[in-house]
């Protein structure tokens, strides 16, 4: 097992520079342009297709688009297998595509608050996922680079433990509903140490669904785009189409809007923001 594989197994994330990824960025850009040029006119609740999500404060500004592999033969047939192979090298288990998206963090675009991805995925019969974040633009402090929590104080009573390929990992208490839906409990965040991952176009960051992460708002004058392809263990099943059938049916459901600067039904209610450990 090489150094990067060891790092992923021990830490739950690894940063792979472009020289190690061999991505065809020009082809990726072309495919993304082909499927997103009319994104704002797409209706997510009319027919299966591209999922378009705008920012809560600006309905004309894209936050993300999803269902990339479902809309692009290049993504489905070339990029996804490449990323799956990369993840399998680090994880040691076969994987299937679970979901995908491109996050557009435009100038002034909102922050993604501290969360675990498993909080959003727990509604499906999958206990463990790994995401490949593909950088299309440089990510630095000013434009909201990904930040990973590397340490926090936790006692056995704070969170249930889940068996994963990386051993027992904690499902951290998070806020349920309301404008802070999915955010990790403030009492834990106060003790977290964060590592910002500055990355260049063509770099890939692998991280699993139990790693707390966040990113700040974009304070620069340029857009920061990242593709996120999330995979689950092949032994758990194939959820890609069932995931998007659920999202097409209820696009504003809070389970699809965890710790994001987007509009969804929990923002429009008086739902409790008391942190709860999620029951599985």
How many domains, in total, are found in the chain?
1
Q: Tell me, what's the pLDDT at 146?
A: 96
Instruction: Give me the CATH number covering residue 52.
Output: 2.60.120.620
Residue for token pair 């288990």? 93
Residue for token pair 């097409």? 248
Whether 79 has a pLDDT exceeding 60, the answer reads: yes
Give φ, ψ of 221 to 5 degrees.
-100, 5
Whether 33 has a pLDDT exceeding 80, the answer reads: yes
Q: Tell me, what's the pLDDT at 156?
A: 60
Residue for token pair 């739950």? 12
Query: What mean pLDDT value characterizes the chain?
Result: 86
Residue 54 confidence class, pLDDT cut points 50, 70, 90? confident
8 Å CB contact between 190 and 206:
no
Domain that holds residue 34: 3-276
Whether 58 has a pLDDT exceeding 90, the answer reads: no
Q: 166-219, pLDDT tens digit by residue? A: 999 999 999 888 888 888 999 889 889 999 999 999 999 999 999 999 999 999
Q: 230-269, pLDDT tens digit by residue? A: 999 999 999 999 999 998 888 878 778 777 776 554 444 4
Closest CA to 21 of 82, 68, 69, 73: 82
Q: Which pTM value belongs to this model? A: 0.89
Measured distance CA(182)–CA(119) in Å, rounded: 6
**Burial profile 90-109: b = 16 or more Cβ within 10 angstroms, e = fewer:** bbebebbbbbbbbbbbbeeb
Q: Tell me, what's the pLDDT at 263?
A: 55
């Amino acid at each position: 097992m090489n150094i990067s594989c060891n790092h992923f197994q021990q830490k739950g994330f690894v940063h792979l520079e472009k020289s190690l990824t061999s991505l065809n960025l020009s082809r990726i850009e072309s495919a993304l342009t082909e499927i997103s040029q009319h994104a704002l006119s797409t209706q997510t609740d009319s027919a299966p297709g591209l999922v378009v999500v705008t920012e809560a404060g600006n309905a004309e500004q894209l936050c993300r688009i999803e269902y990339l592999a479902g809309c692009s033969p290049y993504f489905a047939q070339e990029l996804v297998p490449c990323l799956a192979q990369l993840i399998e090298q680090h994880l040691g288990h076969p994987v299937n595509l679970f979901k995908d998206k491109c996050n557009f963090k435009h100038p002034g675009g909102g922050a993604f608050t501290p969360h675990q991805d498993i909080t959003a995925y727990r509604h499906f019969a999958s206990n463990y996922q790994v995401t490949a974040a593909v950088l299309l633009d440089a990510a630095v402090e000013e434009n909201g680079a990904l930040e990973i929590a590397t340490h926090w104080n936790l006692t056995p009573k704070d969170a249930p433990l889940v068996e994963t390929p990386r051993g027992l990992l904690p499902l951290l208490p998070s806020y349920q509903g309301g404008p802070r839906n999915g955010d990790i409990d403030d009492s834990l965040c106060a003790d977290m140490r964060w590592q910002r991952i500055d990355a260049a176009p063509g770099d890939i960051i692998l991280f699993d669904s139990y790693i707390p992460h966040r990113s700040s708002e974009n304070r620069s004058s340029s857009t920061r785009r990242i593709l996120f392809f999330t995979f689950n263990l092949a032994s758990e099943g194939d959820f890609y189409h069932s995931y998007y059938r659920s999202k097409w049916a209820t696009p504003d459901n809070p389970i699809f809007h965890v710790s994001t600067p987007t509009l969804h039904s929990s923002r429009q209610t008086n739902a409790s923001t008391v942190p709860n450990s999620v029951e599985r």
